[in-house]
């Protein structure tokens, strides 16, 4: 479990124990002692988790790769255009739409 999540849960437990201790204040003193020791244990656990979390070495953020601004060259764009025109011509001969792959509808 991550330290931050553990601290959240331990804080919630400590709050609940405080509420229960306040309710048992006048009723039974021996129960209050047990609850106080439980609350102290939770507080120690919170300190331990907090110390371990702060002792971890912070990771360096990943270095972003430089984006190359070069897109398609004019020559590459021309090759793609020629290839697309060839595919379209083949599809037209077969009577199939080059985009959808469905048969072309014949209009009257």
Each residue's pLDDT, cut to its tens digit, for the chain (108 residues) gives: 688 888 899 899 989 888 887 777 666 777 778 888 888 998 888 888 877 766 665 677 888 877 777 788 899 999 999 999 999 999 989 888 888 888 887 765
Evaluate whether residue 108 is within a structural domain: yes
In whole angstroms, give the CA distance from residue 16 to residue 24: 13
Residue 61, in any domain of the structure: no
Please state, as a whole number, how many other Cβ atoms lie within 10 Å of the Cβ of residue 17.
18
3-state DSSP of the chain: CCHHHHHHHHHHHHHHHHHHHHHCCCCCHHHHHHHHHHHHHHHHHHHHHHHHHHHCCCCCCCCCCCCCCCCCCHHHHHHHHHHHHHHHHHHHHHCECCCCCCECCCCC
Q: Are residues 14 and 49 in the same domain?
A: yes
Q: What is the pTM of this model?
A: 0.45
42: containing domain: 3-55
Let me know whether 7 and 44 are in one domain: yes
Which of 12, 28, 55 finishes a domain? 55
Residue 89 lies in a domain: yes
Q: How many domains does the chain have?
A: 2
């Amino acid at each position: 479990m991550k330290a931050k999540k553990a601290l959240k849960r331990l804080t919630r437990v400590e709050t609940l124990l405080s509420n229960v201790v306040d309710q048992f204040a006048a009723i039974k003193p021996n129960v209050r002692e047990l609850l106080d020791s439980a609350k102290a244990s939770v507080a120690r656990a919170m300190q331990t988790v907090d110390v371990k979390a702060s002792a971890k070495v912070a990771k360096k953020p990943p270095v972003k790769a430089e984006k190359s601004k070069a897109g398609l060259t004019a020559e590459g764009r021309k090759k793609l255009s020629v290839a697309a025109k060839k595919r379209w011509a083949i599809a037209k001969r077969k009577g199939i739409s080059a985009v959808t792959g469905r048969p072309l509808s014949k209009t009257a």
